[in-house]
Amino acid sequence: MPRGKYTNHKGRNRRFTNPEELEEEKRKEEQKKKWRQQHGDPSSSEEDSENEKKGSEESGSEEETSDDEPTEKAKGVSNLIEIENPNRVQQKLKKVTKLDTAELADKPQLSRREREEIEKQRARAHYQKLHAEGKTEQARADLARLAIIKQQREEAKKKREEEQRERVEAAKAKTAATQKALGKK
């Protein structure tokens, strides 16, 4: 039993049709045609007449009578039902003048992601511009924080300078006191 749903024929021997079988099939087909012609089956007679037409056109012995013969009737229900694909879009012919202007006027169609990415970049650039000018809330908060830090640094600098002066004055006073104690002055 083969595995899987389908069988493959890879390991089998090749099978060729015998010439006797071919001859038998041809003979049966000819018998069917004769029987149809005798009993007046219209579908087979049309097919036979088509085959005869093709043969006669190739040989060129008979005259062309394609204009005199009526067109073939559609078989079955297909002639009653008109089949049309609603999704099929027929290409409309375009004028050359409109074609040139249409190509120039149409912008390249971007996908949704590409369009959103471009919008994000524009918004980011606009925000950076406003931020640099100090017009955004975040920029105002940053500037206020920087002003506070600057003020604190200035106060610390003044305090360090005062302490430095006091140390220098204290050192001068100490050296003056030691000089006075030694009596050098």
Q: How far is CA 82 from CA 46, 85, 185, in A?
A: 23, 10, 131
Structural domain that includes position 162: 114-182
Which residue reads 């220098």 in tokens?
Answer: 168
- pLDDT at site 117: 94
Which of 12-16, 20-24, 69-73, 177-181 has the least mean pLDDT?
69-73
Q: Judging by beta carbons within 10 Å of its beta carbon (0-12, 13-18, 19+), is residue 53 exposed, middle or buried? A: middle
Residue 37 counted as domain residue: no
Question: Is the pLDDT at 122 greater than 90, yes or no?
Answer: yes
Q: What is the DSSP string of 18-76?
A: -HHHHHHHHHHHHHHHHHHHHHT-HHHHHHHHHHHHHHHHHHT-SPP-TTTSPPPPPPG
What is the number of residues in the chain?
185
Residue 119 counted as domain residue: yes
Residue 125 counted as domain residue: yes
- CA–CA dist 172, 170 (Å, integer): 5
Question: Is the pLDDT at 63 greater than 50, yes or no?
Answer: no
Residue 134 counted as domain residue: yes
Q: What is this structure's pTM? A: 0.32
> What is the DSSP code (8-state) at residue 89?
-
Structural domains in the chain (count): 1
Residue 47 counted as domain residue: no
Asked if residue 54 lies in contact with residue 43, where contact means CB atoms within 8 angstroms, the answer is no
Give Cβ neighbours of residue 26 (< 8 Å, ≥ 6 apart). Answer: none
For the chain, what is the largest distance between any 2 Cα atoms, rounded to a whole number of angstroms?
A: 160
- pLDDT at site 8: 79
Residue 26 counted as domain residue: no
Residue 152 counted as domain residue: yes
Q: What is the pLDDT of residues 135-168, one digit of tens each?
A: 888 889 998 999 999 999 999 999 999 999 999 9
Average pLDDT estimate for 167-185: 88
Q: How confident is the model at residue 26 (pLDDT cuts 50, 70, 90)?
A: very high
- Helices 112-133, 137-182: axis angle to 10 degrees equals 40
Residue 146 counted as domain residue: yes
- pLDDT at site 61: 45
Q: How confident is the model at residue 14 (pLDDT cuts 50, 70, 90)?
A: confident
Average pLDDT, the chain: 80
- CA–CA dist 61, 152 (Å, integer): 116
